A = this chain, B = another copy of it.
Amino acid sequence: MDTRSSRLRHIVNSPELSFLMEAHDGLSARIVEEAGFEGIWASGLAIAASHGVRDCNEASWTQTLECVEFMADAAGIPILVDGDTGHGNFNNVRRFVAKLEQRGAAGVCLEDKLFPKINSFVNGTGQELAAVDEFAGRIKAAKDAPRDDQFVIVARTEALVAGRGLAEALVRAEAYWRAGADAILIHSARTDASEVLEFKRLWGSTLPVVAVPTTYHCTPTDTFRAHGFSVLIWANHLLRSCITAMQATAAQLFTEQCLTNVESTVAPLREVFRLQRMAELKAAELKYLPQPVRPSDGDGTRDAVPEAVSVQ
């Protein structure tokens, strides 16, 4: 059966390099889908930031879950959820994973740190790794939790981020593979990709490997392709584009105290309505609402606001 989980599994397992684009709410998820991407990365950092909280489990796991649900409802492509540590021990993990599947996610990525986590790009306290066998137990629990065995479990090791070196990263990847992981995400906070590439060389093809070039963004994509990576994640760039745009728009409106110049730089209102699928609602009204004779409604277009209401 063609489910979103099976489609994400295909993305992960296929020999070509694929790309997942970050989204953090229903709107961004729909934009990612419309841009043509095969799948979505529901970024923990971006979801936290858009809520105005920090990426150290300040939002509860059910608040994150609800955000994922809005994303899965807004876009039809598979969503790989950044599941942080799984929000506790094996028992929290299996509950979290079962709920993610219920709400329409296609897979989850779990990292070998302890709850509460702290973002991998923030230095200092909190980058401690979980014991290998304890985290392997979480992966095993995650594998057993979904109803659909196509649901994808990605094991992310923070061994390099924590400064433990390649050998430990490999040992951990092997343990997570044996525990049932479908892919390994090798994370690095360095500005060059060398340790990530070296990991891939040493690891080989036991399981597909995912990379997140946030800090080593200068590395050409063909390098990852040549090394046989499975998936690259553009992990937070829609959120960051929003920040730039909102700061500019807010500054301009604060200074100019007038909409006139801003109007042409932002999406028109009708584009908001189109993204919200207002046309589907108008069609549904015809189907489900009693239809009075309303000659003045015409084609549903309000004359005075042509740009606002064209909802096709």
Contact = CB atoms under 8 A, between A and B. Distances in A.
Contacts of A237: 249, 253, 259, 262, 266
Interface stretch (A4-12, A83-91, A202-210): A83-91
Which 7 A-B pairs have CB atoms at the shortest separation, nearest pair first? A26-B52, A52-B74, A245-B245, A240-B266, A35-B250, A217-B259, A90-B288
Given A21-B250, A305-B189, A289 B29 contact: no
Given A49-B275, A300-B124, A246 B238 contact: yes
Q: Is the interface of A mostly helix, strand, loop or mixed?
A: helix
Copies in the complex: 4
Contacts of A26: 50-53
B253 A265 contact: no
Given A91-B56, A241-B266, A247-B35, A253 B189 contact: no
A171 interface: no
A14 interface: no
A63 B284 CA distance: 24
Interface residues of A, number: 126
A54 to B, nearest CB: 5
Contacts of A91: 56, 58, 116, 281, 284, 288
